[in-house]
Structure 1
Amino acid sequence: MDAPTCVKALGRVAPRSLLLEAGITPWQIEHALNDRRLFRVRRAWYAVPDAPADLVRAVRVGGSLTAVSAARRTGVWSIDDGLLHVSVPRNAARLRSPDDRRTGLRDDSAGTCIHWRRTPGATTRLVEPAVSWLIHALECQPDEYAIVLLDSAMQRGLVTRRELEIAFRDLPDRYRRALARSDGRAQSGTETLARLRLRALGIRVRIQVPIGPDRVDLVVGDRLVIECLSREHHTGVENYASDRGRELRMIDGRLLTMTLSYEQVMFQWSEVERVILGRIADRDHLWPRSRHPRNPVSQE
């Protein structure tokens, strides 16, 4: 195995120490650097030319991806704040600019958010473990977005509620409050945001409710079904046909359905809230007393 192949196997960015452990010689590293099959990220760290930019930039700073940056890398539903979130040891020194290893990271460096790990010493990790990056995310994200991250990480199986309970035990109260409001059943961040906002209004909301062969995101009252789409959701012909079939079954069961787009949840929530509150004020979310539903919604 040559040096570039070894670096690729280690995640496309790797420290000198792991290359030497794998049997790569210093001469092989230098040869690959001279041939431009590797480039130097910072002292004793190397990357292949097609290495992911976020990993390269975090290592160049002097740490590993964390918080929202780690969420994006691991596929967790998150709101992009435009920052590079980097975890560094509490005794870290000589932090560098993410874009130039010869330039120090100054206090006014735009676009970089530093999170100080509680433990000293360097790490060879490119991305912090899930529990760690979630702790860092709760340091800098608004409550709603932090709960989105908790929901999504649990739903994807990256972390369990028990692991978070243990990790948050000695942290400030806001961590435990966020966890208490989280629910790993949520299928998207838009669903989480809608749930949190409706409950903040004192509205009882059930999530992931089975209705016949289907399962819906949110149910308010007896029959107001709210489906929340992600930005990338339901674009193919197969998904479109499946969604229309679901809607037909809902209408046949006399359910009141509302499908919210990503843009409506993220940018037009006041209008969504007005419509939902209007439906509740008119008691449209409850079964009429004189009519028996064909397809009652599970009350579990």
Structure 2
Amino acid sequence: MSERGSSWSVSLVDALIRVGLDEEPETLIAALDWAIHSGSLDEIDVQRVFLGFPKSMSWMNDWVDGACESLPESIARTRLRLAGYDVSIQVPLGPQRIDMVINGTVALEVDGKEFHAETFEKDHLKAIDITIAGFHAMAVSANMVFANWGHFFRALELAVASHAPPSFGNSGNPAPGRSSAQQPRGRRRPWRGSS
């Protein structure tokens, strides 16, 4: 069997190229996040994957992040970025980490498991710690990411809008010191098409 596979299988790199050509960006990015996080691909392999795509897809390379710890977390992150939000993942909070922080104001935990009694108190204490740190605490289940995204997304839009830093000072001019993370983002980036 060669590095590229055999007559009945293909290499992971070739499989990911096919995913990128056939599926939506969130699927490819999630697959690459997993492959890096699990140690199945290294940076050279990722570059080999992107060499199999048209240049119009190269922007996705910057969105792949092996620090992402789950499929629903990766999909949520990509959807939020495509919607124009600034998203940071695995943000330190004392000895803990927040799954993602959106526009510097909303701290989102993505729960990939069903309710477990042994983590109930810990999860609620973390939500309180997030609020004490100055974020709006939100949580979304894996099932909501896959099956009820619109409902969650509406709540997130409201949370971000109600916790956004003021955009204008007393003079009516943009407030000084507004970070680029707080600036409005563009629309969904194109990804299909020829180079």
Question: Mapping of 1:141-160 within 5 angstroms?
Answer: 141-160=23-42
Question: Distance between the aligned counterparts of 1:253 and 1:181, measured in 2?
Answer: 27
Seen in structure 2, the aligned counterparts of structure 1 residues 160 and 236 have a Cα distance that, compared at 3 Å, is same
Match in the other structure for 1:273: 153
Contact between 1:225 and 1:255, CA under 8 Å: does it hold in 2? yes
Structure 1 residue runs without a partner (length 5+): 1-63, 65-117, 288-298
Once the two structures are TM-superposed, the CA of residue 279 in structure 1 deviates from its matched residue by 2.0
RMSD: 3.0
Structure 2 SS opposite 1:208: strand
The residue identity in structure 1 corresponding to 2:92 is P
Counterpart-to-counterpart distance in 2, 1:249 and 1:225:
11
Query: TM-score under structure 1 normalisation?
Result: 0.48
Equivalent position SS for 2:75: helix
Counterparts of 1:1-300 in structure 2 under 5 Å? 122=7, 128-169=10-51, 171-173=53-55, 176-230=58-112, 233=113, 235-282=115-162, 284-286=163-165
The count of corresponding residues between Structure 1 and Structure 2 is: 167
What is the aligned partner in structure 2 of residue 292 from structure 1? none
Cα distance, 1:259 vs structure 2: 0.5
CA distance in 1, matches of 2:71, 2:62: 17
Contact 1:222/1:286 (CA < 8 Å) preserved in 2? no
Following TM superposition, by how much is the alpha carbon of 1:176 offset from its aligned partner in structure 2, in angstroms? 3.2
From the superposition, tell whether residues 167 and 138 of structure 1 become closer, same or farther in structure 2 (CA, over 3 Å): closer
Task: Tell me if structure 2 keeps the 8 A contact 1:165–1:176.
Answer: no
CA distance in 2, matches of 1:145, 1:170: 16
CA contact 2:32–2:64 (8 Å) conserved in 1: yes
Which stretch has the larger CA shift, 143-152 or 251-260?
251-260
Give me the whole-angstrom Cα distance separating, in 1, the residues matched to 2:61 and 2:11.
18
SS at the partner of 2:84? Answer: coil
Kept after mapping to 2: 8 A contact 1:221/1:286: no
The answer to whether the 8 A contact 1:195-1:205 is kept is yes
Aligned equivalents of 1:170, 1:196: Cα separation in 2 = 21
TM-score (norm 2): 0.71
- Say if 1:150 and 1:179, in contact at 8 Å, map to a contact too: no
Task: State the percentage of identical aligned residues.
Answer: 25
Alpha-carbon distance, 1:243 to partner = 1.6
Comparing both structures, which one devotes a greater share of its residues to helix? 2
Provide the C-alpha distance between the structure 1 equivalents of 2:80 and 2:49, rounded to a whole number of angstroms: 29
Deviation of 1:244 (Å): 2.5
Q: How far does residue 163 in structure 1 lie from its aligned partner after superposition?
A: 1.8
Letter in 2 for 1:198: L
Structure 2 stretches lacking a partner, 5+ long: 167-180, 182-195
Change (3 A) 1:276 1:236: closer
Query: C-alpha distance in 2, partners of 1:257/1:276?
Result: 10
Measure, in 1, the Cα distance between the counterparts of 2:90 and 2:59: 22
SS of equivalent residue, structure 1 residue 159: coil
